[in-house]
A and B are shown apart, each in its own frame.
Chain A
Amino acid sequence: KAGVTQTPRYLIKTRGQQVTLSCSPISGHRSVSWYQQTPGQGLQFLFEYFSETQRNKGNFPGRFSGRQFSNSRSEMNVSTLELGDSALYLCASTLDLAGYEQYFGPGTRLTVT
């Protein structure tokens, strides 16, 4: 069974631009979570989606948003990029809301210049 896939793997953007990252969960998994990883703050939870509904949200500004489609694929969007948004963005999928394990993708490395 294929794992979690994320596209693109690497991205370079300029301050003020916006970016959309994509995540395809493991087949059959219905919950998708997003995390941001930076050297200073470590791994931090952004938000979680289940059945196209946001179930949980971390402490990030409104510039960070996401959505989930009926096929469980998810996208996250960051508007008005700042230098501090440079990070590894990780997506994780879980079978359902009662799932034990979250399976992570390889991440998208975003660099804001």
Chain B
Amino acid sequence: DAKTTQPPSMDCAEGRAANLPCNHSTISGNEYVYWYRQIHSQGPQYIIHGLKNNETNEMASLIITEDRKSSTLILPHATLRDTAVYYCIVRVRGNTPLVFGKGTRLSVIA
């Protein structure tokens, strides 16, 4: 079973920041937080990952709380192409499989 809890759906206005929350209260010290997204009928796309520090790349920012029990993925300027299902996954680095939950369906609205 997935170790994360995410809201089933969210809406965001185009051009605004999309903030997607994720709860992972049972995360272990050696588990990373990963975010993937899946645009309709395509393979999942890696977005970002982090252990305990906040992370930023060209796609998004990841904010992890100090106790590591929750995190937020931030898409700074959402576009219509960001409409997708976003998955938050906790996982030990290395050859452990990704365990996908139901994710959050983000709809970006013009």
Contact = CB atoms under 8 A, between A and B. Distances in A.
Interface of A: 4, 31, 33, 35, 42-45, 48, 50, 55-56, 58, 88, 90, 92, 94, 97-107
Interface stretch (B5-13, B15-23, B58-66, B91-99): B91-99
Given A98-B93, A100-B49, A100-B93, A90 B98 contact: no
A42 B43 contact: no
Given A56-B95, A92-B98, A107-B41, 10 more contacts: A42-B101, A43-B87, A43-B100, A45-B99, A48-B97, A97-B94, A97-B95, A98-B94, A102-B98, A105-B43
B102 to A, nearest CB: 6
Given A42-B102, A100-B49, A101-B49, A106 B97 contact: no
Contacts of B95: 31, 48, 50, 55-56, 94, 97-98
11 contacts: A43-B98, A43-B100, A45-B97, A48-B95, A50-B95, A56-B97, A98-B93, A104-B43, A104-B44, A104-B45, A107-B42
A57 to B, nearest CB: 9
Interface size class of B (residues with CB under 8 A): 10 to 19
